[in-house]
Structure 1
Amino acid sequence: MRRGALTLAVLSQLDSPQYGYSLVQRLEASGLVIDQSTLYPLLRRLEKQELVTSTWDTTESRPRKYYMLSEYGEEIFAQLKVEWEKTSQELHNLLRGEKNDGSD
């Protein structure tokens, strides 16, 4: 479950170009701690799945690889977000002891 949450969290932050450390900072500012040893393999996997694109910026003294959602990634993120919200609500109802009577 955490892996899915981290994927969704990372995708949510890539509407503008981010490099790894800036992404870690943005996530931590929102209360979600992610280790760099988890983040970079996740970014590579998302790039391989064509959800994320990357470009190198070599204008600074230290080159940085920036990641951003691809067009396909935007579509998948929107779908995942809807599914996550639906599942979260269902789980929330279960944890509160509410039962689905099937009339939805």
Structure 2
Amino acid sequence: MSNAKAKEHLDKLLQELRRGTITIGVMSQLSEPQYGYSLVTMLGERGIHVEPGTLYPLLRRLEKQGLLESRWDTGEARPRKYYLLSPLGSEVYELLKEEWRLIAASMKDVMGE
């Protein structure tokens, strides 16, 4: 297998892996109200790169599921929609964090690390 072929496979697999982790990353930043662009920036600074075209549908889906609350701030020149974990969202996030820790520990064990 050539390096180009391996990189192609790696890129596809990483895309799948990231898709599952972005939700936890986003939820981790919403204990305080944040708007979309601030989330993109904050996550990017921590090495989690998320495109706005991925983020906004995710925020809408989490809000529809009752995990986020939102409010518009029209006091600035440009209105912004702020998102915050709902009480249910906070509870779900705590459960997700614990599951993430268990998965990470299991993966370390499986990989012999």
TM (norm. structure 1) is 0.90
1: distance between equivalents of 2:37 and 2:50?
11
Deviation at 1:72, TM superposition (A): 0.4
The answer to whether structure 1 residue 53 and structure 2 residue 69 are counterparts is: yes
Pairing 1:1-104 to 2, within 5 Å after superposition: 1-96=17-112
The answer for unaligned runs of 5 or more in structure 2 is 1-16
Deviation at 1:96, TM superposition (A): 1.8
1:101 aligned residue: none
2: distance between equivalents of 1:93 and 1:33?
27
TM (norm. structure 2) is 0.83
Q: C-alpha deviations, 1:19-77, integer Å up to 9, x for none?
A: 00000010011011000000000000000000000000000000000000000000000
Corresponding pairs, count:
97
AA at the equivalent of 1:57:
D
4+ runs deviating over 2 angstroms: 1-4
Higher helix share: 2
2: distance between equivalents of 1:86 and 1:2?
18
Tell me how large the CA RMSD over aligned residues is.
0.9
Deviation at 1:3, TM superposition (A): 2.3
1: distance between equivalents of 2:89 and 2:19?
17
